[in-house]
């Protein structure tokens, strides 16, 4: 199996060896996907996939489109039930646990969330307290305090009385993160938290995540598109391709030319990030890539025409 072969070469978490007892593994890390098969209806996305989220890590899952990274996150947060295998939270099968109990341990920032019409920031963040509340305990002093703290630590406290519809994309994402924080879970999963944000707000959100990880000691799991962001912020990186783990470990240990080629099918150069010293992926120049593609015998004719449209597409994208 390619995935295993690549993994064996890399220094990885010692607990992933297959002989380790399942219960023992669960006792080591709080959130574990154990031999899961994932899919929608008849379409299988991943088969016999095993992943462990190291406690107190900022784990980032990367991979090409449709590699199953969001699907894996959905399974870890029990929104998707594996058709085989199981997801364990603190050693218990996550589906068998009471929903509110899971929600007090495991928070989630989904990709698709709808802000109800006419809701204020304060009210939206307050809804994060739901798993701690009941019919007779709807709004304790503790709830109020934690909602205030969550808004303060995400920098949206001064927006508390504003309507969510009026906010910019970056502010809105902070509000949703504040809601997930108000849940006060030791584990927090984030599904592409930086999508649709401009670069400044992407960094803003990632800095916030790093703060949550470093200062509050939470375990974070995020799906990210940008490999360089992942390499810069993650303490533990999981690279997925076609529903299989290609490699996992600290970014400085595993991000190599081979990994990028195996995972994304792209030639690149890895240099040290001048700011942080973490690996920085620089895609190979188009001519180099085309040459290597030609070497593989699949270069198409009319490359010049393709180039022209590509460039036009890129500038159109940049303009929007």
Partner 1 sequence: MKAIRTRGGLSFRLDVRTAVVVAVLIVAALVASVVLIGTGDFYIPTADVVRTLLGNGDAGQEFIINDLRLPRVLVGLLVGAALGLGGAIFQSISRNPLGSPDILGLGQGSTAGALIMIVLFQGSAVQVAGGALVGGLVTGFAIYVLAWKRGVHGFRFVLVGIGVSAFVTAVNGYLLTKADIVDAARAVVWMTGSLNGRDWEQVWPLLVLCAILVPLVMTYARPLRMLEMGDDVGYALGVPVERTRIVLMGSAVLLTAAATAAAGPVSFVALTAPQLARRLTRSPGPNLLPAMFMGATLLIVADWASQRAFGADQLPVGVVTGVLGGIYLLWLLVIERKAGRI
Q: Which stretches of the chain bind partner 1, using CB under 8 A?
A: 40, 77-79, 98-104, 107-119, 123-124, 127-128, 130-131, 133, 135-141, 143-144, 180, 183
Residue written as tokens 């960094």?
203
- Torsion on CA atoms 27, 30, 36, 41, rounded to nearest 10: 150
- Shortest distance, CB of residue 212 to partner 1, whole angstroms? 16
Count Cα neighbours of 85 within 13 Å in the Cβ-side half-sphere. Answer: 22
Q: Which is nearer to partner 1, 104 or 291 (CB)?
A: 104
Q: How many residues would you count in the chain?
A: 320
Q: Which is nearer to partner 1, 179 or 224 (CB)?
A: 179
Quote the CA–CA distance of 13 and 320 in Å, as a whole number. 42
**Of 79, 98, 77, residue with least CA distance to 31:** 77
Q: Which is nearer to partner 1, 35 or 123 (CB)?
A: 123
Q: Which is nearer to partner 1, 93 or 115 (CB)?
A: 115
- Shortest distance, CB of residue 229 to partner 1, whole angstroms? 23
- Shortest distance, CB of residue 153 to partner 1, whole angstroms? 19
- Shortest distance, CB of residue 267 to partner 1, whole angstroms? 36
Instruction: Kindly report the number of other CB atoms within 10 A of residue 91's CB atom.
Output: 15
Q: Which is nearer to partner 1, 18 or 117 (CB)?
A: 117
- Shortest distance, CB of residue 140 to partner 1, whole angstroms? 5
Q: Residue 76: is it exposed, middle or buried by C-beta count within 10 angstroms (0-12/13-18/19+)?
A: buried
């Amino acid at each position: 199996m390619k995935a295993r072969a690549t993994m064996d070469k890399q220094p990885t978490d010692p607990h992933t060896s297959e002989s380790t007892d399942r219960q023992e593994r669960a006792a080591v890390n709080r959130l574990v996907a154990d031999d899961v098969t994932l899919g929608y209806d008849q379409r299988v996305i991943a088969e016999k996939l095993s992943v462990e989220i190291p406690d107190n890590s900022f784990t980032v899952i990367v991979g090409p489109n449709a590699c199953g990274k969001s699907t894996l996150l959905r399974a870890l947060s029990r929104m998707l039930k594996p058709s085989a295998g199981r997801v364990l939270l603190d050693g218990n099968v996550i589906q068998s646990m009471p929903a509110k109990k899971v929600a007090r341990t495991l928070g989630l920032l989904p990709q698709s969330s709808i802000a109800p019409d006419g809701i204020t920031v304060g009210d939206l963040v307050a809804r994060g307290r739901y798993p701690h509340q009941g019919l007779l305990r709807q709004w304790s002093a503790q709830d109020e305090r934690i909602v205030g703290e969550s808004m303060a630590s995400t920098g949206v406290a001064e927006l508390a009385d504003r309507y969510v519809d009026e906010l910019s994309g970056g502010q809105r994402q902070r509000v949703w993160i504040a809601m997930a924080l108000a849940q006060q879970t030791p584990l927090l999963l984030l599904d592409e938290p930086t999508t649709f944000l401009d670069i400044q707000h992407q960094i803003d959100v990632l800095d916030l995540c790093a703060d949550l990880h470093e200062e509050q000691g939470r375990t974070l799991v995020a799906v990210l598109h940008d490999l360089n962001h992942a390499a810069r912020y993650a303490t533990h990186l999981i690279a997925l391709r076609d529903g299989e783990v290609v490699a996992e470990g600290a970014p400085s240990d595993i991000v190599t030319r081979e990994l990028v080629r195996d995972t994304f099918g792209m030639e690149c150069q890895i240099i040290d990030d001048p700011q942080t010293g973490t690996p920085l992926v620089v895609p190979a120049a188009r001519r180099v890539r085309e040459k290597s593609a030609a070497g593989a015998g699949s270069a198409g004719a009319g490359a010049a025409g393709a180039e022209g449209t590509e460039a036009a597409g890129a500038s159109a994208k940049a303009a929007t």
